[in-house]
């Protein structure tokens, strides 16, 4: 009898732990995906033609998060993060997306996520397409950006996966900015 109670209690604890680790998933936070701090003073400056001349025309490929499944990155969240990042780097144009000199189209190819684990590494795969005023592509960048969220960042698995998604997009935007710094716009 006692043994059955102990077994049932252990099973309940295991279930409770699993439920705790797999609580409702929520979408990635745009603020957490954005680069909000300016580049370090020794960072290479952006080419002058890009300053206050860029805008995000479209973001595609994102997915809405199903609370019963896993955290994802949606188009609006990604767009908001990229716009905030461009603004903090003084790259954002005051003109709208149809008239700004260097519009950007983003295609989120997908997120490679672990199904579970202690340290969770998510890799985002993103195509950034930057066009010049004439409509020709001047920078086409395919960026794979991994980020590992450690157990110390969040105990619950769904929260850790969300943080890994956010970190991966932040890293992706950082790498995109590095490519912009190395570009040669006319």
Partner 1 sequence: MFSKSLLLACALVLCGCAARQVTPIAMSQPGDDALTCDQLGAQMAANGVSEADYRKQDKQVENGNIAKGIGSAAPFVGPIIAGSTDLSNEEQVKARSLADRNEQLKYLAKQKGCTK
Contact footprint for partner 1 (CB under 8 A): 7, 10-11, 14, 18, 22, 61, 69-70, 107, 109-118, 121-123, 125, 127, 129, 137, 140-142, 144
Closest to partner 1 by CB, 87 or 178 = 178
Structure tokens at 178: 């590095």
Least CB distance from residue 113 to partner 1, whole Å? 4
Least CB distance from residue 114 to partner 1, whole Å? 5
Closest to partner 1 by CB, 121 or 174 = 121
Least CB distance from residue 108 to partner 1, whole Å? 9
Strands 102-112 and 120-131: antiparallel
Closest to partner 1 by CB, 92 or 122 = 122
The vertex-44 CA angle with 43 and 49, nearest 5°, equals: 135
Cα–Cα distance, 40 to 158 (Å, whole number): 32
Structure tokens at 28: 């990635």
Cα–Cα distance, 47 to 28 (Å, whole number): 31
Cα–Cα distance, 184 to 166 (Å, whole number): 29
Least CB distance from residue 121 to partner 1, whole Å? 7
Cα–Cα distance, 57 to 1 (Å, whole number): 67
Closest to partner 1 by CB, 8 or 43 = 8
């Amino acid at each position: 009898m006692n043994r059955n109670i102990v077994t049932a209690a252990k099973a309940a604890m295991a279930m409770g732990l699993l439920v705790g680790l797999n609580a409702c998933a929520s979408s990635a936070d745009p603020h957490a995906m954005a680069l909000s701090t300016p580049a370090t003073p020794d960072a290479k400056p952006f080419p002058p033609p890009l300053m206050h001349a860029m805008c995000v025309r479209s973001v595609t490929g994102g997915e809405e998060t199903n609370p019963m499944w896993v955290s994802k990155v949606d188009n609006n969240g990604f767009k908001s993060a990229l716009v905030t990042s461009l603004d903090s780097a003084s790259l954002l144009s005051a003109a709208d997306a149809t008239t700004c000199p260097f519009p950007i189209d983003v295609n989120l190819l997908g997120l490679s996520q672990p199904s579970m684990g202690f340290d969770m590494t998510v890799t985002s795969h993103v195509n950034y397409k930057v066009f010049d005023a004439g409509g020709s592509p001047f920078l086409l960048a395919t960026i794979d950006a991994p980020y590992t969220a450690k157990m110390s960042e969040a105990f619950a698995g769904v929260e850790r996966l969300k943080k890994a998604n956010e970190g991966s997009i932040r890293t992706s935007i950082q790498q995109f900015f590095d490519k912009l710094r190395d570009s040669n716009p006319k």
